[in-house]
Amino acid sequence: FLPQTCAYTHTHRIPANFCSSPMERGNQTRVRNFLLLGLSEEPGLQPLLFGLFLSMYLITAFGNLLIILAVSSDSHLHTPMYFFLSNLSFVDICFTSTTIPKMLVNIQTQSKVITYAGCLSQIFFFIVFGCLDNLLLTVMAYDRFVAICHPLHYTVIMHPRLCGLLVLGSWCVSVMGSLLETLPVLRLSFTNMEIPHIFCDLPEVLKLACSDTFVNNIVVYFVTIVLAVFPFSGILFSYAQIFSSILRISSARGKYKAFSTCGSHLSVVSLFYGTGLGVYLSSAATSSSRTSLVASVMYTMVTPMLNPFTYSLRNRDIKGALGACLVRVATVRDEVIGLS
């Protein structure tokens, strides 16, 4: 439930029935701000929320940085699969950095304000990195499909140039898709500026518009189909072919070895799309913004935090590389202490 209160500019109140664009009409040029209502307005819960989300952010950043460090420092991991994994880890860091730092600042300063430009920027980068997650997971599924279904041609097909082009193409497509969704927001007018969320989520922003959002919704559906449904279909097709190939392997050991090469990726795909589907179903099944908000927290914060654990716990190569990195760090530390 959202109270239809008036939104504030820096110095004055605008009536709720006055539909204006983000720039004041007439000769006034003061930019209006949005208000992020967050998870709770209880003062006693703010230190707990701050500590919880700060811990989640640090774990996410540190865990994914370790994956990048392990892949870059171990020559045995300079393969397409781990190249895509290190890119996914970088994207996950950026994905959480789009939303959590601003939320932490707002909690610490006891402010709910986010500028109009800041809100649009948050929408843009959130969509970019969300789409990149989709596309990189699809590219990784294709990599596993080639490795298991066409092992003799793997090195020929997945050569470094193709891997680089796949990542570059994912970036370009994600930026274009985000621009398609973000730019139409500029034409919208708003009265109520209170967003019942911890960040500027595009669907929630569109609900606040007092002008027609038909074009925006069409664009959102189109981009979702192209950059979410199609990639997910590609992942399903790849794994259908993978499972078909695994079932044709005669030995149980061969089946286990083949499946173990894609087990971590399959876990990440299940977690990513499972929580994403949970956000969609919770939004469609209930009008409660609180339920949708909790589901969004799972999707935007918990999933990127768990990805490093999924890969490090289920992958011997990553565990070995991380162990070697820690040994080198300890050796360097001991040498520094010895010199001092």
Give Cα separations from 265 to 84, 252, 283 (angstroms): 11, 21, 27
Number of H helices, E strands in the chain: 13, 3
Residue 233 has pLDDT above 70, yes or no: yes
> How would DSSP label each residue in 166-230?
HHHHHHHHHHHHHHHHHGGGGG--BS--EESSSS--HHHHHHHBSS--HHHHHHHHHHHIIIIIH
- Give the pLDDT band (50/70/90) at residue 231: very high
The average pLDDT across 182-202 equals: 90
Query: Is residue 332 in a domain?
Result: no
Query: Is residue 134 in a domain?
Result: yes
**Token pair recorded at residue 200:** 């500027």
The average pLDDT across 296-325 equals: 81
Give tens-digit pLDDT for 254-280. Answer: 888 778 778 888 888 888 888 777 666
Mean per-residue pLDDT over the chain, rounded? 84
What order of strands is seen across the sheet that includes strand 194-195?
113-115, 33-36, 194-195
The dihedral over CA atoms of 79, 257, 242, 148, expressed in degrees to the nearest 10, equals 40
Better pLDDT: 13 or 331: 331
Query: Is residue 27 in a domain?
Result: no
Query: Is residue 151 in a domain?
Result: yes
Query: Is residue 126 in a domain?
Result: yes
The pTM for the full model equals 0.86
Query: Is residue 26 in a domain?
Result: no
What's the total number of domains in the chain?
A: 1
SS3 of residue 148 by DSSP: helix
Give the residue numbers spanning the domain of 107. 33-319
Query: Is residue 113 in a domain?
Result: yes
- What's the CATH code of the domain at 277? 1.20.1070.10
Residue 30 has pLDDT above 60, yes or no: no
Residue 37 has pLDDT above 80, yes or no: yes
Better pLDDT: 8 or 331: 331
Better pLDDT: 267 or 160: 160
Q: Yes or no: say if 6 and 15 are a contact pair by the CB < 8 Å rule.
A: yes
Query: Is residue 202 in a domain?
Result: yes
pLDDT score, position 290? 65
Residue 161 has pLDDT above 90, yes or no: yes
pLDDT score, position 302? 85
Residues whose CB falls within 8 Å of the CB of residue 276, separated by 6 or more in sequence, listed in order = 228, 299
Of 32-41, 98-107, 149-158, 284-293, least confident by mean pLDDT is: 284-293
The average pLDDT across 238-258 equals: 87
Better pLDDT: 282 or 71: 71
**DSSP type of residue 248:** T
Tell me the C-alpha distance between 211 and 185, whole Å: 10
pLDDT score, position 184? 95
